[in-house]
Amino acid sequence: MKVTRSEIPGVVVVEPKVFGDERGYFVETYAAERYKEAGVPLDFVQDNLSKSRRGVLRGLQLQNPHGQGKLVSVVVGAVWDVAVDVRVGSPTFGRWCAEELSEANHRQMYVPPGCAHGFLVLSDEAIFSYKCTDRYHPEAEVGVVYNDPALGITWPGADFTLSAKDLQLPLLSAIDVSKLPKYEP
């Protein structure tokens, strides 16, 4: 497997080996020891799937406390996946990285606790998979609006569909720093 580390501490892109022939393909999507060596933790406690149509933008969301690390991938379709470092004291606070994840390229991205996460569906539909290091805690939800000008995220296209909740998320600068996670190197 190929591992690429982002400039954001803890964000890792994994490209598993794909074994294919005329019948189709086989991909090992998680093996604890190999992923641990790549910097992806072993303590996943919850798996989630979402299905969305083209133009759906979900996020930017995280939990604090009860931060969730997420190993994300696409089962069907393609998405533009984004991680934003919102950990107070981080050398990359307010910076983002993105990766196209798709059924075709089999890439995965690990988004560590303390980073906001979101994605935009690029294909007609997408089934998106999350392996999470903590369970969902609705009382701990924090989010940043997707089009915060201070972040300057480059989202492909222009016609997005967001939930009412995601459209009402604040700018990063409007969030009380006590509600944001702290950076722990």
Q: Could you report the per-residue pLDDT of 24-72, keeping only the tens digit for each?
A: 999 999 999 999 999 898 789 999 999 999 999 999 999 999 999 999 9
Domain of residue 59 covers 2-179
In a domain, 147, yes or no: yes
Burial of 156 (0-12, 13-18, 19+ CB in 10 A): exposed
In a domain, 78, yes or no: yes
CATH of the domain at 48: 2.60.120.10
Q: Please write the tens of the pLDDT for every residue from 6-28.
A: 999 999 999 999 999 999 999 99
Given a cut of 90, is residue 96 above it in pLDDT? yes
- What's the predicted TM-score (pTM) here? 0.95
Whether the Cβ atoms of residue 142 and residue 60 lie closer than 8 Å to each other:
no
Query: Where in the chain does DSSP place strands (E)?
Result: 2-5, 12-15, 18-21, 24-27, 46-53, 57-63, 70-76, 78-85, 96-102, 108-111, 115-121, 125-132, 141-143
What is the number of domains present in the chain?
1
Alpha-carbon distance of 95 to 121, in angstroms, equals 21
